[in-house]
Every structure is written in structure tokens, then in C-alpha cells.
Amino acid sequence: MTSTAPIGVFDSGLGGISVVRQLVHDMPHERVLYFGDSAHAPYGVKTPEQVRELSLRIVKRFVEQGVKAVVIACNTATSAAVNELRDLYDFPIIGMEPALKVACDRGHGVRQRVIVAATPLTLREHKFAALMDRFKEDHTIFPEPCPDLVEIVESGQLDNHDLVMHTLHQYFDQYDLSSIDSVVLGCTHFVFYREYFRELLPDTAAIIDGNEGTVRHLGVVLESLGKLAPEDAAGSVELANSDPSERIATLSRELLER
């Protein structure tokens, strides 16, 4: 695959568009093919086998389109499918996981109290258990499944302030938020809620997502293979979705430009 080949980016639906925004910002010369699987969203309440099957189907489509790398812009699909995808393909497959390390490192040795907001499946899978094992002795970690936050984005209700705040309160009122050092947004859909989380949380709590780190990692991997797009290349983004409705196409464009 040449350096001018596109990068395939996928998610269960519209959440991965938050990763595409970061990619376009940091790597403006790349061609991005985005695939959102909104017809099958949410992934976070499915079985790992179902999510693996759906992810394999999407990556097969990217292979037919001649991608040079794939970004799984979905923590849930990464937990369920990254190993199998890496066994199957020899181009780089970049996955995502909740940015718990970033949250814990902020303490510089001081114990941190961290909420990890993610989907039920991400928090149930071995990959997250392994991540927790690395940090749980030195830090206090609260995994919080928030499936409704996926549905609100998919149904185009992200601007419904009352609905969003009500939903956030349902998940987070159980915590003494003034004692929390950071909240990790461990689902790419949740990145669109950053301002709402800011409204919910005291200023002392940081809000952390993995998008920047994921794109940086993609850049390092492509550079090491000599496959970064040339600097005179015009970057582009093509948005595709398994839900062919005009509503989803419009929503996807809006989220990209948000």
C-alpha cells in the first residue's frame, strides 16, 4: 500500500467522528474513509462475538477500498476484535482503550480518584480488566457504564441540554464529585459531551479522552513505515454509514464540523 492510500476509521456509529476530527486536525494531508455502523449501534450492549463479527465485516470493506491502516475509533470494538483483526491483517490496526494511564499519571505519584465512563461491554471485557490491574493498587478507579449517552448521540439529541444533564446526573450523582480527580471518557461517543461534563464537574476534575493519543500513535506508526501522506497531498474525509438515511448523513456532517 502506498503512502497516498486512505486510512479506514470505524465505529459502531457516530462516536468515531470525534476521532476523525482529531485526525483531520493533526494529520491534514491524510485521506480518511469513515464508516459508522449506526444500523447496528449500540455495540456496547452486544456480546463480544456479535461485535467481532460486525467489526470484521467493516474491515473487509476497508480492505476492498485499499486502506493503508485502520483505526478502530471505538473502545468497545477494540476490546472485542483488535486481536483477531491484527491476526488477520498485516497493515497497522490502531485500537483505542480508556485513557486511564493518562488520568493516573496526572497524579505524579499521588493516588488519583478516577471515574472511567464507558460502555458496559468495554468495562466487562478482559482488556479493561488488564488495564485496571495495572493501576488499581495505586489509584481508586470507578468504572461507570453509561449506555444511554450513546443513544442520545445516535438519535440526534446531543443539543437537548435538559435530557443530557438529566442523564449525566443519573449516572454521576452517586459520586462525591468534589473528591474526583478526573473522568475518563472511555467511549468515543462521549467525547461530544465534553462541555456537558464540564458543567457537571467541579473545576478540580479533569476530563480526559484518548483521541489525541490515538491519532499521535497512528502518526508514529505510519511514519515508522514511511507511509505518512506527503505534505503536498490534499487530505479528505468520506463519511459512510450502514444506516443509509439522510438523517444520519446530515448528523454525521454536523458532528464532523461541530
Any known ligand binding at 189?
yes
Rounded CA-CA distance 105/21 in Å is 25
Shortest distance in whole angstroms from residue 44 CB to ligand DGL: 3
* Contacting ligand DGL within 178-197 (CB under 6 A): 187-189
211 counts as binding ligand DGL under rule CB under 6 A? no
Q: Strand pairing partners for 34?
A: 9, 239
Considering only the stretches 12-20, 138-146, 161-169, 218-226, report the one whose residues sit in contact with ligand DGL under the rule CB under 6 A: 12-20
Phi-psi region of 214 (alpha: psi -120 to 50; beta: other; left: phi over 0): alpha
Phi, psi of 208 (to 5 degrees): -125, 130
Shortest distance in whole angstroms from residue 54 CB to ligand DGL: 10
Shortest distance in whole angstroms from residue 43 CB to ligand DGL: 4
Q: Which is nearer to ligand DGL, 95 or 228 (CB)?
A: 95
Rounded CA-CA distance 253/255 in Å is 5
Any known ligand binding at 119?
no
CA distances from 125 to 24, 61, 84 (A): 30, 26, 15
Active site residue 146: no
Considering only the stretches 53-61, 70-78, 164-172, 232-240, report the one whose residues sit in contact with ligand DGL under the rule CB under 6 A: 70-78
Rounded CA-CA distance 75/57 in Å is 17
Considering only the stretches 59-67, 72-80, 105-113, 225-233, report the one whose residues sit in contact with ligand DGL under the rule CB under 6 A: 72-80
Active site residue 187: yes
Phi, psi of 34 (to 5 degrees): -100, 135
The catalytic residue among 23, 72, 73, 74 is 74
- Which of 127, 20, 134, 148 has its CA nearest to residue 76? 127
Any known ligand binding at 11?
yes
The catalytic residue among 158, 187, 208, 251 is 187
Spell out the alpha helix ranges (H) of 136-231. 148-154, 161-172, 194-200, 211-224
Rounded CA-CA distance 193/15 in Å is 11
Q: Which residues contact ligand DGL (rule: CB under 6 A)?
A: 11-13, 15, 41-44, 74-76, 119, 122, 150, 187-189
Active site residues: 74, 187
Q: Which residues are known binding-site members? A: 11-12, 43-44, 75-76, 188-189
